[in-house]
């Protein structure tokens, strides 16, 4: 191949000064047989650390080219220019391109493929889904700590492959699965995976249709797990039937700092049950119960219990079903906690 220094010099001479124009025009060409000589890939070869190609319209062909660069760098022993992070969100990558990237990503620490088309139904029917490649990545990588697959239209089949690999993965710390097409089956699969995996610290599964049954299974297992620091189950179907598990999660979690349960179906009974867990919590800093059908009774019970809590700095109860008269009780609760928790805020808007 050509000398790397010559390739980099040629790439830097690209007349397309705009990053977006340069990337879209130069990275979308076909991958040739001698791609290592292609100046359109030279800057990728020269980058160390984070490679950010987000929001520039990359397609599968471009994803395969980037995968080649990752594999090439990984094959060079002692190469100090290795990439540790790939940010490729907000593009047009479908399962074909995703499979290439996922198979080349085993030495990354951070991989962000959010807001792509990894679950595209037409692409899945044509050549298979992203699930097997996700499974291979999690089974093989000993460095990947952050994985973002949000807003990709991933299915329960993809979720099953992912969760099976999570059972044996001991490296991943952050998993973002927000806004996919996961249903009840993935709720069960994720619960099973968490029963084995004690390494995850940050889990976002918000805006998935787990429904009341799937979230109940997931929360039941989460209630037995005290390793999480951040959990987002907004808009997943949490009901009062799961409130006991939520309470156990809060009172038993020695590390949980943020819990988001907004846009669910927690009513007065659920609010009262969750409230009883708050006085004993020493780690929880942010609790989001906004957009739930909490009435005056449920919110009142919650406020009475949070008054004796010393860790919560932000309680979000906006847009619940409580009346405006609860504003006075919110103010009283904040006043009672003012000396012990000076940085507190209780957000309430009926």
315: in domain: no
- Residue 15's pLDDT is 41
Q: Tell me, yes or no, whether 350 lies in a domain.
A: no
Predicted pLDDT at 2: 37
Residue 118 lies in a domain: yes
Assign residue 17 the CATH number of its domain.
3.80.10.10
Model confidence at 64: pLDDT above 70: yes
pLDDT band at 199 (very low <50, low <70, confident <90, very high): very high
In contact, 254 and 225? CB cutoff 8 Å? no
Question: What does residue 346 show for φ and ψ, rounded to 5 degrees?
Answer: -115, 115
Q: pLDDT digit string (tens) for 26-55?
A: 444 444 434 333 444 555 655 568 888 899
Query: CA 331, CA 58: separation in Å to the nearest integer?
Result: 50
Give DSSP secondary structure letters for 321-341: S--TTHHHHHHHHHHHHTTT-
Band of pLDDT at residue 12, cut at 50, 70 and 90: very low
* Domain assignment present for 340: no
- Which pLDDT score, from 0 to 100, does residue 195 have? 94
Q: What percent of the chain has pLDDT over 70?
A: 82
Overall number of domains in the chain: 1
- How far apart CA 66 and CA 44 sit, in angstroms, is 8
E-assigned strands of 235-344?
258-260, 286-288, 314-318
Asked whether residue 21 carries a pLDDT value surpassing 90, the answer given is no
pLDDT in the model for residue 31: 43
Q: For position 196, what pLDDT does the model report?
A: 94
Contact assessment for residue 119 and residue 158, using Cβ atoms and an 8 Å cutoff: yes
> Would you say residue 67 lies in a domain?
yes
Q: Under a CB-based contact definition with an 8 Å cutoff, are residues 219 and 233 in contact? A: yes
Report which DSSP code applies to 239: B
* Burial class, 303, CB count within 10 angstroms (exposed 0-12 / middle 13-18 / buried 19+): buried
pLDDT value, residue 68 = 87
Does residue 193 lie within any of the structural domains?
Answer: yes
Q: What is the pLDDT of residue 17?
A: 44
- What residues contact residue 286 under an 8 Å CB cut-off, 6+ apart? 257, 258, 259, 260, 312, 313, 314, 316
160-181: average pLDDT: 98
Angle between helices 296-306 and 326-337 (to 10 degrees): 10
Indicate the average pLDDT of the chain.
87
* pTM beyond 0.85, yes or no: yes
* pLDDT confidence of residue 52: 87
What is the DSSP code (8-state) at residue 137? Answer: H
What sign does the CA torsion over 151, 69, 35, 39 have? positive
- Chain segment 274-312, per-residue pLDDT in tens: 999 999 899 999 999 999 999 999 999 999 999 999 999
* pLDDT tens-digit map of 227-266: 899 999 999 999 999 999 999 999 987 899 999 999 999 9
Is 156 part of a structural domain of the chain?
Answer: yes
* Beta strands 258-260; 230-232: pairing state: parallel
Beta-carbon contacts of 58 under 8 Å, excluding residues fewer than 6 positions away, are 23, 27, 28, 66, 88, 91, 92, 93, 97
Instruction: Name the residue with higher pLDDT: 71 or 178.
Output: 178
* 330 found inside a domain: no
Q: Please tell me the predicted confidence (pLDDT) of residue 123.
A: 60
| Averaged pLDDT, 133-141 | 97
Task: For residue 299, give its domain range.
Answer: 4-285+292-310
């Amino acid at each position: 191949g050509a000398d790397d220094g010559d390739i980099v010099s040629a790439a830097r001479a690209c007349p397309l000064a705009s990053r977006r124009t340069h990337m879209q025009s130069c990275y979308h060409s076909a991958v040739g047989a001698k791609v290592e000589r292609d100046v359109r890939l030279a800057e990728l070869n020269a980058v160390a650390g984070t490679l950010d190609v987000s929001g520039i319209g990359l397609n599968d062909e471009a994803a395969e080219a980037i995968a080649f660069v990752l594999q090439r760098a990984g094959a060079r022993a002692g190469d100090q220019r290795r990439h540790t992070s790939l940010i490729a969100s907000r593009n047009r990558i479908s399962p074909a391109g995703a499979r290439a990237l996922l198979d080349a990503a085993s030495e990354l620490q951070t991989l962000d493929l959010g807001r792509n088309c990894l679950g595209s139904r037409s692409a899945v029917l044509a050549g298979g889904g992203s699930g097997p490649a996700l499974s291979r990545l999690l089974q093989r990588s000993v460095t990947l700590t952050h994985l973002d697959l949000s807003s990709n239209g991933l299915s329960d089949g993809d979720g099953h492959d992912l969760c099976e690999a999570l059972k044996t993965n001991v490296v991943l710390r952050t998993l973002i699965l927000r806004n996919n097409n996961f249903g009840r089956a993935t709720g069960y699969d994720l619960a099973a995976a968490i029963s084995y995996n004690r390494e995850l610290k940050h889990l976002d599964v918000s805006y998935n249709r787990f429904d009341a049954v799937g979230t109940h299974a997931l929360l039941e297992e989460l209630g037995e797990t005290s390793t999480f620091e951040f959990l987002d189950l907004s808009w997943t179907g949490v009901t009062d039937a799961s409130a006991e598990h939520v309470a156990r999660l809060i009172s038993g979690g020695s590390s949980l700092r943020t819990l988001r349960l907004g846009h669910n179906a927690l009513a007065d009974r659920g609010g009262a049950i969750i409230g009883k867990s708050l006085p004993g919590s020493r780690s929880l800093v942010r609790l989001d119960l906004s957009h739930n059908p909490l009435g005056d009774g449920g919110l009142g019970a919650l406020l009475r219990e949070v008054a004796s809590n010393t860790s919560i700095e932000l309680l979000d109860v906006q847009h619940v079903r409580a009346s405006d008269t609860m504003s006075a009780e919110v103010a009283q609760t904040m006043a009672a906690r003012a000396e012990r928790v000076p940085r507190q805020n209780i957000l309430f808007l009926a």
